[in-house]
Chain A
Amino acid sequence: MTSRATPLSERQLERQRYRRRRTRTRAAIAAVSTVVVLGLVIAVVISSPGWDRVHATFFDWHDAKGSFPDVAKSFWLNIRLFLVVEVFVLVLGLVVAIIRVIPSPALAPVKLVAVLYTDIFRGTPTLLIVLLVGFGVPALELSGLPTSLFWLGVIALTLSYGAYVAEVIRAGILSVHPSQWASGRAIGLSYGKTLRHVILPQALRRVAPPLLNDFVSLQKDTALLSTIGLVESLRAAQVISGRDFVFTPYVVAACFFIVATIPLARLTDYLTVRSMRRESGF
C-alpha cells in the first residue's frame, strides 16, 4: 500500500468513494433497524401485563445479589471440569480418529471398537451417559474404578464428547487432498510421519472452528453433572430456587455460562474468518 507506481485514476477514486458511501449507508441502516426492532421487542415485553410478575420472578436484583456468591463459587467447579475434560476429549478424539483412518488391515479389531464407540456414544444423549457412568460404574464395586463424582463426571463427558470430536477430526483428515499423502510418501516419509507432519497440521487447522464449537457445547454440558450429585452452578441455583420458589438464580447462572462462552465463541468466529480468508487466497 505504501509505494504505488501510478496514481489512481479519477474513475478508481470515484469507485472507492462510492464504496465507502455505500458501506456507511448500510451500517446506518443496520444500526437503525437493530435499534427499532430491539426497542419494539423491549417495549412490548415491558408493557405486557405479566411483566411485573416476570420481573419479580426472574430479574429480582435482591435475589440476584443473594444467589451470586453461591453460584459464583460453584461455577469454579464447572470451569475445572471443563478444563480437565477438554484435554481428555482432544486426546481420545485424536486417537479414535487416527485409528479409523489408518488403512492397516491388522488393526481391524481396534477399528471395529473405534467405530462401535463413536456410533454408541455419539448416538446416546449425554445426560444418559452421565447417569449411567455416575451411578452405574460405582455400582459395579470394582476396585480401581473411581468413586469420586468429579472423576466420574469427567469420564462421562469425555466419553460423550470424545465421540463427537473424533468424528470432527476424522472429517478434517479426510478433507486433506490425497495428493498431500502422495507427496509425503514421495519424499520418503513413512505413513506415520506423513500423517504427523503433513496431514494432521492441515486437518486440525481446518477443523478448529467446529472443534471450538464442540468445546462451547461441552462447557455448557458440565451442568448435566448436577444430576449425579455435584453441586455445580446450575445445581447451586436450583437449590436456592427450590428453597425460596424464585427463578432469578437461574438467570444468574445463565449469565456465568454466557460470560464464559463468549470468549470461545469470538475466537471461533475469528478462526472461521481467518481460515476462509486463507482458503480463498487473500
Chain B
Amino acid sequence: MTISTSRGLAAIAVLALALTAACAPTSDSDGGSASGAASASLSECEPATLPVVAKGTLTVATDDPAYEPWFSDNDPTNGKGFESAVAYAVADKLGFTKNQVKWTKAGFNQVIQPGKKNFDFDINQFSISAQRAKAVDFSSPYYSASQAIITLADSPFAGATSLADLKGAKLGAQIATTSLTAIDQIAPTTAPLVYDDTSKAGQALQNKQVDAIVADLPTAYYLTSAEITGGKIVGEFQPTKGEQERFGLLLSKGSALTPCVNAAVDSLNSDGTLTDLQNEWLTRATSVPELK
C-alpha cells in the first residue's frame, strides 16, 4: 500500500486535531464568586430556585467506606452518625425533605479536582484551610475537632502525659489530614509514616511498625473501639499550627449554592442543633486527658 506523503501528513493532522478536540472540555460558565465567605438569608433559599445539580433533589457526596462515628454501617442514607445527621439537618434547613436527599460516592482525589462536580456538597471531615479554599469552596464550619494520640496499651508510650513524652515515638497518620500536620507540634525525632487511611495506620500500629498514630478524636474513639485490639487513647491536644481544625462542607469552587449552605450551617449552629448532634453521636462517657 502506498500513501502520498502530503495526504499522509494531512491525515495525521486531522487525526491529531480530532483526538485533541474530542478530549478538550466544553466551555462552562465557571467564573463567578470567589470565596465561600458569603452567606445568604435562609428565606432566599428555596428548593425550587436553588442551583442544584439535579432538579428537586439535594445530591450529597461522601467517601466509600464511610466510617463511624461520622456515618453508621457505611450507609449515609440512614441518618445515623454525625455527618449523616448534619447533612439531613442542612437539607431540612434548605427546604428538602428526607426523600429528596440523594447520596453519591466520591473519593478524595475526585472531590479535590478542579471543575464541575456531580454533587451539591460533600461531607467527609474536610478540614478548612486557606490554601485548599483556592481549589474548592468550604461552608461555615460544622465541627471543630481536637487531635488524639492512639497507641497500644502495652506500649512504652501508653503512659505519656505530655506531647514532649512522645518525641522519641515513631508516629503515623492518614494522608491529607490535619493529624499529619499536627505531628509537627510533637516534633518527633523520626519522620512520620503516612498511610492511605486510618485503617492502614491502625494495622501498622498493631504490627508495631509505628509506636503511635494521630487521628482526630472521634476517629480515635472508633479506631480504639472497633479496629485496634488493645488500642488506647493516650490523650488529646488542640492543633496550634495554623488554625484549629474545623470541618466544612465542600462545594465546587465558586458554587452558587455556597451562600445558602452557609446560611443553613450558621442557622444550625445558632439554634443549637449542631451541639445536640455532637452530643448524640460524638461525645462518649470516656474522658480523655489533655496533652500539653
Q: Do A and B come from the same complex?
A: yes
The B interface, classified by DSSP as helix, strand, loop or mixed, is: mixed
Nearest residue in B to A235 (C-beta to C-beta)? B194
Contact A229 to B204, CB < 8 A, known contacts A243-B176, A245-B132: yes
B48 at the binding interface (Cβ < 8 Å) = no
Residue B161, interface by CB 8 Å: no
Selected contact of A57 from candidates B9, B135, B195, CB within 8 Å: B135
Contact of A40 among B16, B172, B208 (CB under 8 A): B16
- Are B5 and A229 in contact (CB-based, < 8 A)? no
Known: A53-B115, A138-B207, A229-B204. A242 touches B108 (CB 8 A): yes
Closest to A231 in B: B194
Could you tell me which residues of chain B, from 134 to 182, have a CB within 8 Å of some CB in chain A? 134-136, 172, 175-176, 180-181
Given A45-B24, A139-B207, A245-B132: A235 in contact with B175 (beta carbons within 8 A): yes
A238 at the interface (CB under 8 A from B): yes
Give every chain B residue within 8 A of A54 (Cβ-Cβ).
114
Checking B27, B192, B196 against A49 with a beta-carbon cut-off of 8 angstroms, the contacting residue is B27
Contact call B131/A245, Cβ cutoff below 8 A: yes
A40, B30: Cα distance in complex, Å: 26
Which listed residue, A33, A135, A239, touches B176 by the CB 8 Å rule? A239
The answer to whether A44 and B132 have CB atoms under 8 Å apart is no
Measured in the bound complex, the distance between the Cα atoms of B201 and A226 in whole Å is 12
B288 cross-chain contacts in A, Cβ below 8 A: none
Q: Does B49 contact A (CB under 8 A)?
A: no
Q: Give residues 198-242 of B contacting A (CB, 8 Å).
A: 200-201, 203-204, 206-210
Whole-angstrom distance from the CB of B132 to the nearest CB of chain A?
A: 4
B21 at the interface (CB under 8 A from A): yes
Check B12 for interface membership: any CB of A closer than 8 A. yes
Tell me if B42 is interfacial: C-beta within 8 Å of chain A: no
* Chain B residue with Cβ nearest A139: B207
Known pairs A32-B9, A149-B193; A243 contacts B25 (CB<8 A): no
Tell me the complex Cα distance, A227–B201, Å: 10
- The tally of residues in B whose CB lies under 8 Å from a CB in A reads 46
The reply to whether A147 and B209 contact each other, CB–CB distance below 8 Å, is yes
Give the most central of B26, B192, B204: most A CB within 10 Å.
Answer: B204
CA distance A230 to B200 in the complex (A): 12
**Contact assessment for B115 and A50 in the assembled complex, using a CB-CB cutoff below 8 Å:** yes
Check if A244 is an interface residue, CB within 8 A of chain B.
Answer: yes
| A273 CB within 8 Å of chain B | no
Please measure, in the bound complex, the distance between the C-alpha atom of A145 and the C-alpha atom of B30, giving whole angstroms: 55
Residue of B nearest to A42 (CB): B20
Name which of A149, A229, A238, A239 has the most chain B CB atoms within 10 A of its CB: A229
What distance in Å separates the Cβ of A22 from its nearest Cβ neighbour in chain B? 12
A264 at the interface (CB under 8 A from B): no
What residues on A are CB-neighbors of B204 within 8 Å?
135, 228-229
Bound-complex Cα distance A174 to B103 (A):
57
Confirm or deny: A128 has a beta carbon within 8 angstroms of a beta carbon on chain B: no
Q: Contacts A49-B25, A50-B24, A231-B191; is A147 near B207 (CB within 8 Å)?
A: yes
CA–CA, A101 and B175, complex, Å: 46
Query: CA A129 – CA B176 in complex, angstroms?
Result: 25
Report if A280 contacts B (CB, 8 A).
Answer: no
B112 at the interface (CB under 8 A from A): yes
Cα–Cα, bound, A49→B21 (Å): 11
Residues of chain B in range 240-274 having any CB-CB distance to chain A below 8 Å: none
Whether the pair A135, B13 counts as a contact (CB closer than 8 A) is no
Indicate if A37 sits at the interface (CB-CB under 8 A). yes
Q: Which 5 A-B pairs have the closest CB atoms?
A: A242-B176, A229-B193, A245-B135, A49-B27, A138-B207
Offer 10 A-B interface pairs, CB within 8 angstroms, sorted by A. Answer: A36-B13, A50-B25, A138-B208, A139-B203, A139-B207, A226-B194, A231-B194, A242-B112, A245-B112, A245-B132
